[in-house]
Structure 1
């Protein structure tokens, strides 16, 4: 018998090593809860496991991106609602302002409140930020909603054109001090009534000369007074050409300065600028709009060398900038409805649709995450009951093989001793 090559003992020992390996594997599976802890556990499943894990991670990050984007859209929606409420307040103020029983102080208070609201609306459009980015300056944003390259959602959050324009209008809308309005109050030329002494009872067209034989007046008289269309001269130079009533400038006409340049062209009321007219300086129009009692009152357009701005003048003391279409801004309820409220309603509908679409995408990505998580779990998670049973079985077999190996060694020792005796 070859004691150096005991095949039975070697068999027991080999079995013990295999069982130890299996028990260690079971312990690893039980401690990690995973069936696959290395590529050696299941090589063919590793690639599928990696792909599914990437899908899960992409779905999780995509959900985070969607939730962040929905928060931004919610902020846009909330701010839009606030702007709508403030615009409605402007309509209320405009309606109140047109109450004829209000005093000038009452109207001034209304204007101050309206100006504050206008500035706040402008601030909302210009300064509302999300994560330090101005949200109303954005046009389109792209959102990665999943792990795949195709998982992109494009959202158009650009302001409607009318709202984009209103931001610049709001920035220029403010109360302007017009303490120098007197330069728009034109002195109506006086004339020598003694030159009409000879025409007290005359009615009809006539041409009258002054004492220096210069033309003094040519036009229509009624009972010795300028009435109807006529031209007034001073030292032979034309001062006024237009309509008259009972000796006073009244109606449409043109006034000229001492150099013969047009100074005013428009309507007057008994010698005072009243109604629509154009004011000139050095032959150029510097204001075109409405006058009242010789001052600017109502809408008008101021022109300088570099720009033209439309304004609304109130109570002769201040001017409120107008919208670009020459319509008084906050004093025109139709303008607010058409250019702010209606576009904001449509804008909010667009934002709401994007929020619903993102919510649907979020639900889909959440479902994909759950499905892939289950898929990974089925591939990777250890069957704890099975692993415990397998471990227990291998431990029993291990103990049996150890016992058998020990018995076999004892038998060999006994046999050797017998031979030695």
Structure 2
């Protein structure tokens, strides 16, 4: 018998510590409701469940995206329904004007209502929005471009293509905006920035002021018959626009001095070049899971009724086919948007089912079986109590040696 080391007590204490740790883990799982509270509980399970959690949260957001997409489509369809009602009224008026029982003055009155209906169609098509996105004008925007090419012997020709706009002020604002973006380096390349930096442009109503900041001066020429020289003031040459710019019009501004004499800016104007845009919905949790929605264009010009005239019998009769075609176009657009909505509703159901099933799978990996953990806790608590009792007995066992010393 030995007393320097109480091996029985050491063994009992080791077992007691393991049971204390087991009790602590069981309490942690029961208090959190999770089987995995740290990577040490199940490293592989943690990695799998975290990936599932990312998918589940992504799917829940995709569900919200789909709901927003459906709302966008419903907004567009509601506006097109009203446009279609106005087209039906226009058809009714055209049929009425085709009847010879009405006088020319009657048809003039009918034409007045037709004009108002056309204006309202364009108003709805141009102003119907969802979160700032135009829905019924094709969401088009005028294109612009900047091209810099060699213009031998050692200078550049920079061509800036600007939207023409619908008024003189819009023309000049478009031109000035693009020029300043090229000059500031936001558009074009380093050569176009260098060339444009030679000039300063400003506008005042329908007047364009041009100043050459480097070189010995500049020359201005172009194919626009609507640009007229007004004079020289404060170092700037002033030109006045008197009419709208046409699509094929252009302006040359050339540097005639300096190191790179011959550098030239050319302004092109494009009145019809437009890029139609749509919206892209992220309908899944992963990259590439998207749906592109092409937005309709139901302006009076796009559906072919901008020139409808019912002021004479012959014009009223010919207008009937145009109005009928417009009704068919709007109906086709509504049908297309309705098809998008049906698809999105099915995508919504799929996303919800997908998220539900992934949540179930993640729960099996991550969540604690409460009944099992309570059983484990009870078992380990009993072992702990028994270990405490045995530890007391193990500590009293060496006292029997005292009997030998008596």
TM-score scaled by length of structure 1: 0.57
In structure 2, the residue matched to 1:354 is 340
Cα distance, 1:64–1:129 mapped onto 2, change above 3 Å = same
The structure with more radius of gyration: 1
SS at match of 1:348: helix
**CA contact 1:34–1:381 (8 Å) conserved in 2:** yes
State the alpha-carbon separation in 2 of the partners of residues 155 and 169 from structure 1: 23
For structure 1, the residue ranges without an aligned partner over 5 or more in a row are 174-309, 316-326
Task: Answer yes or no: is 1:126 the counterpart of 2:126.
Answer: yes
Distance of 2:13 and 2:111 partners within structure 1:
101
Change (3 A) 1:372 1:391: same
Question: 1:164, CA displacement in angstroms?
Answer: 5.2
- Deviations 1:138-192, CA, capped at 9 Å, x for gaps: 3333222112223122222343xxx45625987xx6xxxxxxxxxxxxxxxxxxx
Q: Which of residues 145, 148, 161 in structure 1 aligns to 2:283?
A: 145
1:104-253 mapped onto 2 (5 Å cutoff):
110-136=110-136, 137-138=138-139, 139-159=277-297, 163=298, 166=301
Deviations 1:46-86 (A, max 9, x none): 22222222221221121111111111111111111111011
- Supply the distance in 1 between the matched residues of 2:328 and 2:91 (Cα, whole angstroms): 14
Deviation at 1:314, TM superposition (A): 4.9
Rounded Cα–Cα distance in structure 2 between residues aligned with 1:165 and 1:120: 9
Matches within 5 A, 1:19-98: 19-98=19-98
Corresponding residue SS for 2:280: strand
Instruction: String of CA shifts for 1:322-363, please: whole Å, max 9, x gaps.
Output: xxxxx958982221111x200011111111111111122222
Closer/same/farther in 2, CA of residues 387 and 329 from structure 1, 3 Å limit: farther
Normalized per residue, the structure richer in strand is: 1
Compared CA separation, residues 367 and 7, structure 1 to 2 (3 A): same
Alpha-carbon spacing, 1:329–1:383, altered in 2? closer, same or farther (3 Å) = farther
1:125/1:167 contact within 8 Å kept: no
Query: Counterpart of 2:319?
Result: 332
Aligned residue for 2:346, secondary structure, equals helix
Task: Count residues in correspondence.
Answer: 267
Q: 1:408 aligns with which of 394, 397, 400?
A: 394
Compare relative contact order (CA 8 Å, sep 6+) and give the higher one, 1 or 2: 2
Specify whether residues 72 and 411 from structure 1 end up closer, same or farther in structure 2 by C-alpha distance, changes over 3 A only.
same
Distance 1:166 1:68 in 2: 29
Deviation of 1:5 after TM superposition, in Å, equals 1.2
Measured at CA, do residues 377 and 312 of structure 1 come closer, stay the same or move farther in structure 2, by a change above 3 Å? Answer: closer
Gaps of 5+ in 2: 140-276
Given that 2:6 and 2:395 are in contact with CA atoms closer than 8 Å, whether structure 1 keeps it comes out as no
**Is the aligned partner of 1:390 residue 2:376?**
yes
Partner of 2:197: none
Q: Distance in 2 between matches of 1:143 and 1:37?
A: 36
Shift of 1:96: 3.4
Q: Which residue of 2 aligns with 1:322?
A: none
Over 3 Å counting, the alpha-carbon distance change for 1:374 and 1:311 in structure 2 is: closer
Aligned Cα RMSD in Å?
Answer: 2.8
Structure 1 contact 35–41 (Cα < 8 Å) conserved: yes
Give the structure 2 partner of residue 342 of structure 1.
328
Distance 1:337 1:168 in 2: 10
TM-superposed CA distance for 1:36, in Å, is 0.8
1:179 maps to none
Name the structure 1 match of 2:161.
none
Deviates more, 1:123-132 or 1:366-375: 366-375
What SS does the aligned partner of 2:301 have?
Answer: helix
* Deviation at residue 415 of structure 1 after TM alignment: 2.7
The alignment partner of 1:154 has SS state of strand
Distance change in 2, residues 1:169/1:345 (3 Å): closer
TM-score by length of 2: 0.59
- Is the alpha carbon distance of 1:328 and 1:39 closer, same or farther for their aligned partners in structure 2, counting shifts above 3 Å? farther
How far apart in 2 are the matches of 1:9 and 1:393? 22
CA contact (8 A) 2:310 2:319 kept: no
Alpha-carbon distance, 1:41 to partner: 0.4
Q: Report Cα offsets for 1:289-337 as digits up to 9, x if no partner.
A: xxxxxxxxxxxxxxxxxxxxx785959xxxxxxxxxxx95898222111
